[in-house]
Structure 1
Amino acid sequence: MTKPTRLTFALLPLLIASAWVPLAHASPDVASLSRAAVSKGAGQKVTSVEGISEYRLPNGLQVLLVPDDAKPTTTVNVTYRVGSRHEGYGETGMAHLLEHLIFKGSPRHPQVWAEFNKRGLSANGTTWYDRTNYFASFAANDDNLKWYLNWLADAMVNSFIARKDLDSEMTVVRNEMEMGENNPGRILLEKTLATMYQWHNYGKSTIGARSDVENVDIGNLKAFYQRYYQPDNATLIVSGKFDVAKVLTWVQQSFGAIPKPKRVLPPLYTLDPVQDGERSVTVRRVGGVPLLFAAYHVVPGAHPDYAAVEILSSIYGEAPSGRLHRRLTEQQLVASVFGFSQGLADPGQILLGAQLSSEQDPAKAAPAMLAEIESVAKQPITEAELARAKTKWLNEWEQGFADPEHVGVVLSEAVALGDWRLFFLIRDRVKALTLADVQRVAEQTFVASNRTLGQYVPTATPQRAPEPARVDVAAAMKDFKGQAAAATVEAFDASPANIDARTQRLALSSGMQLALLPKSTRGQAVEVQMTLRFGDEKSLANWGAVPSALAALFDKGTRNLNRQQLHDRLDELQMAWSVSAGPGRMSVQFSTRRDKLPAAIALISEMLRYPSLPADVLEEVRREALSELDTQRKEPGALLAEAMDRHGNPYPRGDVRHARTFDEVEADWKAVQVDRIKAFHQQFLGTSHAQFAAVGDLDVNATVQALEAAFGDWRSPSPYARLAEPYRTVPPTRMQLLTPDRQNAAMSVSLPLPLSDTHADYPALMLANYLLGGGGDSRLWNRIREKDGLSYSVYSSVQWNAEEPHSHWHAAANFAPQNRDKVLAAFEEEIQRARQDGFSVAEFEAGKRGLLNFRRLGRAQDGRLADAWASNLYLQRTFAVSAQVDQALERLTLSQVNEALRRYIQPDQFVLGVAGDFKSP
């Protein structure tokens, strides 16, 4: 549940429960209310900072409004200041379990998932140490926004929290635990933190102890809910496109009726004492590769010194600039390094670590890693290191603040620390950091007695980290003044017709096709998708891992820039970039800002056309790939995917369409040489058959000029022909793979379909699959996840082929190995029931609305728009095709959908596999 991801402000957990919802409450006509009356009714306005306004209702609810018309989407968050930190003895996992039960509904909203799905809400909830958060994003729509606010208010005080729901959800939560048990890194992190903290709840996993979760008392859980799920303990955040006056009215109507509670929340006062010696923990399990963590206690996220902690995690953990990369990875002691910090309400941690290949020795790597970290007094931080880390951190902060769907999430983390304005204060603190600040914090933090990793070592004169202490957030914010609010942007209409009308399609001298969609965005952001296509069936044969190695080396240096200079230049241009290799193509994605787009195009051109391809870095890339391969060899999902892909694959070894075994992939990576990479680059890469799509705040003329200069003369050196993969029947089969010591199992089902996305049955089968297993109110989800509580994740999907009639239907689930037979039986029963009885009128109508709403939401995402345009250029399509599909979905009848399911989803043709630690009866 809580695999951490480093964001601007704190670690966020994995998403816990999906969600979808409607049932609008009756309310007065907002048009009849004056704006003055709306403001008065919504409570007192407290402050405004950089375009974010805070209001407070009489019952204590804090409301943050972040209007942004850049994208036609709205995101709503409600954050409760309760997490695993607030749990008592025997209550571990209670906050997370409560998050699951909130989605089980209330008397007014008994079918939460169905309601969410019908309205096309992309919704979810997460639980972390200091807070619980519920959120939803959707295409801007007053009815959906008003309804979701009403649901949040109702869920705050009227949720069932019933024994029957607890019983059915228990298996799902256990399955979520078991998913984490399969991840060596997550287990090691859990054990490291448990060793690090003696008394504080930060040493306990948010998902809780199995014994606590399985034996939770429903009365205690309900009391926990009634204590913390109250307006005076919550912050509502609305961001994106919405009418402020309407939202203030709806907030008052929905939340304002909830009385201010009379209870007083209990104070939390437990802090761990300063650590007085090295601590260690060792985890031994089957599979995976060696990992090393070195964790150190740090100040709370609101402390002035925490900005330096964030920067130190970059100075040590980044590649290739980081100290650990230079000391460990480049010296071939480890395969890769990383670092992150957790800014929490109470003193948190910074964790630095390394992943090794199976051939590398932890006994050599660990001392070297600790020596590098704890030698900071003798090897002080440099100005260059500080400047580079600050640039990267501030770029990430700006990217997050520019995204209205992301702002609410990071504000939630700041709320959990004590004040939402800390989101801006830490930015200002990072900007103001001096070398002396960072050096002082590093020397105080990186001492042996403050470390959790290795063995205890007696020390004559032990060093101590500063005593832990809380922060007076009110005092910290007393003199804070925010920067100027971002300029307002246009309200963009994401309809297919407007997308086509606003997009300019051109071609370069080289033949590369262009689609440029200029639109104002928050922060002048631009999203780009570029696809290079090359080769044919014969010329692409027998290159093995060479294309993947080339893709991994593009950002390791060019003829004019070494590796570090290149990464510094990417940071200067505020570029987030990635590249991936596929059969006969290279796909490049990057984002930047309007004024930096021409320079970013020039840099991408230099990276793609003139990579330095250093041999020593190839060895690093090879080790990292082999290390990842070792990790996959014993994972149930990966093993099952290998077997399923190989079943019925007719292509011989060497053919680019051949499904490789793990051993073949390993052999291919070991065989890669620099001269082969150079030969591949020279033989195939060019832009004669390429597509480039950009969406966002861009100058079309300047962009075209930059593209012509960068790629206009880069013609493809060899012919291109699409790799055909005609439809073929695959023998149905059932397979079972045994993966010892894996507490989570996987099921996968595959079925080839003689269809493309231009077939007349495409809309009907798309909706049929959505109702069967693609949506949040689908048959498979409701039976296996909601009713039986057997799986944390179960779904079905169709991988549509746009070029030939050869698509694939796929279904998957994860579960505890002992539940294998129940999962298979439930899956088969639901498939058969849907085929025999068909879907109901209510399912059909709700599913149609939900699917159309999700399609609209997809067209409102700039990155997805750029990706779609690149594909459309290649297929010689426009968004008129999307409009036609929408129209076809609108015209569908229930009988067409039921008939499509029966015609194409044939259980006797399934390739079905399971993998897990299945015990003999």
Structure 2
Amino acid sequence: MKKTIYSLVLAFVLGTAPYAIAQKNAVSSSQFVGQVEGIKEFKLNNGLQILLISDQSQSNVVVNITYHVGSKHEGYGEKGMAHLLEHMLFKSTKNLGDIKKMLSDKGGDANGTTWYDRTNYYEIFPYSEDNLRWGIEMEADRMINATLLQSDLDKEFSVVRNEFEIGENNPTRILMERVINAGYLWHNYGNSTIGSREDIERVKTPQLRKFYEKYYQPDNAVLIIAGKFDEAKALEYVNKYFGAIPKPNRVLEEIQTVEPAQDGEKFVEVKRAADSQAVGIMYHTAAFADKDYAALAVLDQILTSNPSGYLYKSLVDSHKISSIWSFLPQLRDAGFLFIGAEVSKEKDIKKIRDEVRTQLNKIPTNNYSEADVKRAQSALIKQLENVNNNTIYQAIELTEIIGSGDYRLNFIYRDNVEKVTLADVKRVAEKYFRENNRTVGVFIPTKDEIRVKPTEVTTQEIKNLVSNYKGREAEKEAKEFEASIKNLKANFTEGKISNGLKFGIIDKEIKGEKVNISMSLPVSNEKELAYKQEIGDLTAQLFLSGTKSMTKEDIKDKLDELKSSVYFNFSGQTLNVNISAYKKSLDETMKIVKLLITESTFPEAELEKTKIENITYLEGNMNDPQSLAFTEIQRRTSNYPKSSLFYTPSFQEQIDGYKKVKRTDIIDFHKNILGANNGAASIVGTNDKTKVQSLLEDTFGKWNSASTYQKAYPTLQTSSKKDDIINIADKENAAAVGQVNFKMNRNHPDYPALVIANEMLGSGGFLAARIPMRLREKEGISYGAGSFLSVSSDPKNESSSWGYFAFLNPTKRDLVEKAVKEEITKAITEGFTAEELKTNISSWKTSRATSLGSDGTLLSLSNGYLLNNISFDEFSSLEQRIEKLDVQKVNEVIKKYIDLNKLTSIYTGTFNK
């Protein structure tokens, strides 16, 4: 399934009792309510609900607050106001001041999102008592003390409009919005969260404040603290900062709008400039709290899952469509199921639409089986357990569940999924999947129509449903693991198997006894890999398509049953393999991996489907401003021959390359190019070296490449001063990307200074660096802007680059170009300040510490050491080198490397209207 959510941050200010006054009131203490499967619930007298999820194996802590307010609560003239408020709540508060600057200075990871029923804000930091305290204090202050200045709003609305315009360029998203909008008559679920551009431009701060004061109150919020933290300290700070806020006098009335039964099939046609085609269908379904939801989720898997789905088989396997995906959101009120189908541009879209409708009409009467139900249940339970065993992610994902009614619905849904029967699947198929309950189009009168009326779920019914729910026994907590290079080195073991494959084991437990393996397997040489990038890519994608003893469906079913995942990717001259399993399923998972790499059959039919899917994706990118800009900047700042691994093909060249690939090419690539004998594997989640070595030996010990491995290196490409404009028809958003090339690697003495210069210019902080501050905060002409730095860690690779990017309204192109180049020129001529340097070093260090708390970073460090002999100490030594920097050195380095006379810039969009 594919989940398409608009990440929109929403914020509203409470004015019933200013913070300074609230502090004079008696501070209430949190009361323990109960515990469900490792989640402890507390409550304050003012109504604030608190959820604590402890996981000492984490090194990070997340503070996530969810408000029961979203775009569903917007009235006439307010569409998109919730999203606009998201931006405003990152501006400032009366007590703490500039929120965005403080988040930038602290580093870490922070965001806010808005959806139909809820809004959330979260911050992830390396755990410390001060970070925990600040996160709680800031959210309490932001709850009631946002300033909401008209001057800030005047600049911000155009930034939000630019974000709206970016979405308007996406054909799939636009089709989905229009279908859902047409499917609803009265309920606000028919309106996209990002809202109406006209409303966004007209809203004023008094409207924002009224909305904010109504909903941003403790009795309408749920605070989650998760990861590594001291429970007593967390509650102490919650009591201190949130407990001082009084319970409001107002009463929130429930929204009473209930969508009536649809009385005929509807059709929508959207015509816009694009290269790919799509079909979208929406059915009205059930609320997340409705027991039918679990049965619908199982049926959704049965219908659309790759490769066993009924719709997948009838439409994708037959090459009628390129791909199929679905979206069943977790909503408070009766919701919907959206099914999307990507269609190659050579197809007759109206004929395909009718063929899709023909297959949809079979859903109520399909002969579903017990095996179908079991397969779908396995896939859904695997997804749920993967979320619940990643505490930081779980804490953020609970936002959706809270928005749908109550956090305990997460576990009730899991229980319901496990209980779904074949009869349940058939019942919901017959109940919801009727022609008159879907939107593709036009009114069609029928006789004796049986109409579908969604079942309303009241708040009291949800309370009754969850009140006595106890859940299952909480799982054993994973051991504490300090996020530091010293601790990584102390808990690292390395080895080698018979064919030369190196491995590294990180002795760190993962919640739920999960095991993650990351492998990088470099192969062959530039000569033998010439013109074979599409072949390598397709070979990797087809590994899961079938072996001599297992079909594609068998492989997926078995991996779902084991709650395991295997992913292959080929790029350049490296095959990347990622394996996710659990201790109890690792042996069986590795047996499957062995079959995949040694006995894959690469079926012709699967090759053709995969080629079509890749080509359709590329067709969709050909006229996308952002995709085109980033591709073209690489093409125009390099001059490699087409045979080189470092040549950047155009989208059309990639399409032509995919079309030429034959099954014999795939078989030859697998037989003669791929192998594990020059690679490395990094493992986290188990410390059993003997077992790991045995598994790797059995799986990869005899898988050797027949091609001689010789690492290829890029050569320094000279960039030149030029500004190129690429006009694309009928695009409401544009993109600008610039790049300058130079000679450097990470061992160079200037590298640390350039890292921090890039942070201050466009990459660091929470939108506080100079380029985003100028374009977004000061002038409001870009939703997203920043800079990037690419420098290799390999001492033999000195091909490096620096660049900038900005997303903009096409009419603002001149202003964006002027602003970006002025900020670069100012940095080069006037330099940075000592205070900027100090602040950005602190923020950069915090971001690095946050990154070190991620298993992905640990695995990457291990692979870097095993493959390229990059010492773990280099992670720390870079920090030490940066700490010693003075502002004079940084200012010298930016002048040395960022040369406007060598800057190539690309502008893509509709500039000729």
Indicate which of 871, 896, 899 corresponds to 1:906: 899
Contact kept in structure 2, 1:297 and 1:349, CA below 8 Å: yes
CA contact (8 A) 2:261 2:451 kept: yes
Residues in 2 aligned to 1:694 and 1:435: alpha-carbon distance in whole angstroms: 39
- Among 875, 884, 894, the residue aligned to 1:891: 884
Q: How does 1:412-451 map to 2 (within 5 A)?
A: 412-451=399-438
* Residue in 2 that maps onto 1:679: 668
Report the 3-state secondary structure (helix = DSSP H, G, I; strand = E; otherwise coil) of the residue aligned with 2:339.
Answer: strand
Secondary structure of residue in 1 paired with 2:452 = coil
Instruction: Give the CA deviation at 1:698.
Output: 4.8
1:248 equivalenced with 2:208 (yes/no): no
Aligned to 1:30: none
Instruction: Judge which range, 303-312 or 245-254, deviates more.
Output: 303-312
Instruction: Compute the displacement of 1:72 (Å).
Output: 0.5
Contact 2:150/2:204 (8 A) holds in 1 = no
- Tell me by how many angstroms 1:344 deviates: 0.7
C-alpha contact 1:696 1:862 (8 A) present in aligned 2: no
Give matches, 1:186-225, under 5 Å.
Answer: 186-225=173-212
The 1:5/1:61 distance shift into structure 2, 3 A limit, reads: farther
Alignment-mate amino acid for residue 919 of structure 1: N
Residues 62 and 125 of structure 2 are in contact (CA less than 8 Å); yes or no, is this contact kept in structure 1? yes
The TM-score, its normalising length taken from structure 1, stands at 0.95
Which residue of 2 is the match for residue 823 of structure 1? Answer: 816
Could you tell me how far apart the structure 1 residues matched to 2:752 and 2:587 are?
Answer: 40
1:771 aligns with 2:760: yes
2:868 matched to which residue of 1? 875
Conservation of the 8 A alpha-carbon contact between 2:162 and 2:808:
yes
What residue in structure 2 maps to residue 21 of structure 1? Answer: none
Q: Is the 8 A contact 1:356 1:362 kept in 2?
A: yes
The reply to whether residue 585 of structure 1 matches residue 574 of structure 2 is yes
| Residue-by-residue CA offset, 1:745-774 (whole Å, 9 max, x unaligned) | 000011112111111111111111011111
Distance 2:398 2:70 in 1: 16
Work out whether residues 742 and 897 of structure 2, in 8 Å CA contact, stay in contact via their aligned partners in 1: yes
Residues 377 and 728 (structure 1), Cα distance of their counterparts in 2 relative to 1, 3 Å cut: closer
Structure 2 match to 1:780: 771
Q: 2:780 aligns with which of 762, 765, 789?
A: 789
Supply the distance in 2 between the matched residues of 1:219 and 1:506 (Cα, whole angstroms): 65
Q: Which shifted more, 827-836 or 456-465?
A: 456-465
Q: Is the 8 A contact 2:548 2:599 kept in 1?
A: yes
Equivalent residue in structure 1 for 2:650, among 627, 636, 661: 661
Aligned 8 A contact 2:78 2:203 in 1: yes
1:845 alignment counterpart: 838
Alignment of 1:552-571 (within 5 A): 552-571=541-560
Contact 1:274 1:468 in 2 (8 A): no
Matched residue SS, 1:545: helix
Residue 542 of structure 1: how far off its partner (Å): 2.6
Structure 2 portions without partners, runs of 5+: 12-18, 21-26
Is residue 140 of structure 2 the alignment partner of residue 124 of structure 1? Answer: no
Match of 1:859 in 2: 852
Corresponding position: 1:47 with 2:39: no
Please give the secondary structure, in 2, of the residue aligned with 1:484: coil
Q: Is the 8 A contact 2:86 2:113 kept in 1?
A: yes
Note if 1:168 corresponds to 2:155: yes
Cα 1:315–1:185 shift into 2, 3 Å: same
**In 2, distance between residues paired with 1:363 and 1:827?**
45
Q: Distance in 2 between matches of 1:15 and 1:317?
A: 28
CA distance in structure 2 between the partners assigned to 1:84 and 1:818 by the alignment: 29
What is the root-mean-square deviation of aligned Cα atoms in Å?
1.8
Q: 8 Å contact 1:695–1:863 — kept in the other structure?
A: no
Deviations 1:257-312 (A, max 9, x none): 11111111233101110111101111000113111111100111111111111122
Shift of 1:16: 4.4
Q: Contact 1:59/1:232 (CA < 8 Å) preserved in 2?
A: yes
Q: Out of 601, 619, 623, which is 1:634 matched to?
A: 623
Q: Given that residues 334 and 454 in structure 2 are in contact (C-alpha distance below 8 angstroms), is that contact kept between their aligned partners in structure 1?
A: no
Q: Offset at 1:372? A: 2.3
Q: Deviations over 1:771-812 (max 9, x none)?
A: 111112211121111111111111111112122111221211
**Alignment correspondent of 1:516:** 505
Q: What amino acid is the match of 1:571?
A: D
Shift of 1:483: 0.4
CA distance in 1, matches of 2:490, 2:598: 33
Counterpart residue number, 2:587: 598
Deviation for aligned residue 1:863: 1.9
- Which residue matches 1:618? 607
1:526 pairs with 504, 510, 515, which one? 515
Q: 1:836 aligns with which of 829, 833, 838?
A: 829
Match of 2:293 in 1: 306
State how 1:190-589 maps to structure 2 within 5 Å.
190-471=177-458, 472-589=461-578
> What SS class does the counterpart of residue 783 from structure 2 fall into?
coil
Q: Is the 8 A contact 2:187 2:258 kept in 1?
A: yes
What are the Cα deviations for residues 25-70 of structure 1, in whole angstroms up to 9, with x where unaligned? x99xxxxxxxxxxxx9632111111111111111111111001111
Shift of residue 657 of structure 1?
A: 2.2
Mapped to 2, the partners of 1:697 and 1:150 lie a distance apart of: 38
> 1:572 corresponds to which letter in structure 2?
E
- Tell me, in whole angstroms, the C-alpha distance in 2 between the residues paired with 1:778 and 1:648: 25
Q: What is the letter of the counterpart of residue 679 of structure 2? A: A
User: Aligned partner of 1:791: which letter?
Assistant: S
Residue 760 (str. 1) matches residue 760 (str. 2): no
Aligned partner of residue 379 in structure 2, secondary structure:
helix
Runs (5+) with no aligned partner, structure 1? 19-25, 28-39
One-letter amino acid of the structure 2 residue matched with residue 494 of structure 1? A
Alignment partner, residue 33 of structure 1: none
Partners in 1 of 2:60 and 2:912 — Cα distance? Answer: 48
Question: Which is further off, 333-342 or 452-461?
Answer: 452-461
| Range that drifts further, 217-226 or 359-368 | 359-368
Question: Do the aligned partners of residues 899 and 111 (structure 1) sit closer, same or farther apart at CA in structure 2, a change above 3 Å counting?
Answer: farther
Distance 1:446 1:424 in 2: 27
**How far is 1:487 from its partner?**
0.9
SS of alignment partner, residue 160 of structure 1: coil
Q: Give the AA of the match of 2:301.
A: S
Cα distance in 2 between the residues matched to 1:359 and 1:260:
61
1:89 to 76, 93, 106: 76
Alignment check: 8 A CA contact 2:28 2:45 kept: no
**2:701 partner amino acid:** G
Q: Per-residue deviation at 1:361? A: 2.5
For the residue of structure 2 that corresponds to 1:793, the secondary structure is strand
Equivalent residues of 1:122, 1:138 under 8 A apart: yes
Distance change in 2, residues 1:298/1:327 (3 Å): same
> What residue number does 1:23 align with?
none
Contact 1:75 1:404 in 2 (8 A): no
Q: Which has the larger displacement, 442-451 or 641-650?
A: 641-650
Letter matched to residue 719 of structure 1: T
Give the Cα separation in 2 of the matches to 1:640 and 1:602.
43
C-alpha deviation, 1:663, in angstroms: 2.5
Residue 23 of structure 2 corresponds to which residue in structure 1?
none
Kindly indicate whether the alpha-carbon contact (under 8 Å) linking 2:525 and 2:711 is maintained by their aligned counterparts in 1.
yes
Asked if the contact 1:73–1:140 (Cα under 8 Å) also holds between the matched residues in 2, the reply is yes
Q: CA deviation at 1:230?
A: 0.7
Residue 32 of structure 1: aligned partner: none
> Which letter maps to 1:279?
K
Deviation (angstroms), 1:373 = 2.5
| Distance across 1 between alignment mates of 2:344 and 2:834 | 55
* Number of equivalenced pairs: 894
Displacement of 1:707 in angstroms is 0.5
The counterpart of 1:147, out of the listed 134, 141, 164, is: 134
Greater shift after overlay, 269-278 or 606-615? Answer: 606-615
Letter in structure 1 aligned against 2:906? G
State the AA in 1 paired with 2:864.
Answer: S
Q: 1:17/1:63 Cα in 2 relative to 1: closer, same or farther (>3 Å)? A: closer
Q: Partners in 1 of 2:812 and 2:722 — Cα distance?
A: 21
